Amino acid sequence: MTALEVELVLDSLIKEFGDSGLYFVLICTENGAVKKSYIDQNFNKTSIALNMSQLYELAEEITSEIGVHSPDFNIIHSDNFYILSIKILGNIIITLVEDQLDFSRIFDIINSCIITN
Average pLDDT estimate for 84-112: 87
Query: Angle, to 10 degrees, between the axis of helix 104-112 and the axis of helix 6-17?
Result: 140
Work out the percent of the chain whose per-residue pLDDT is above 90.
Answer: 16
15-69 pLDDT, tens digit each: 988 777 888 888 988 777 889 988 866 666 667 666 766 776 777 777 777 776 6
Residue 109: per-residue pLDDT: 92
Mean pLDDT of the chain: 81
**All domains of the chain, ordered by start, with CATH?**
2-116 (3.30.450.30)
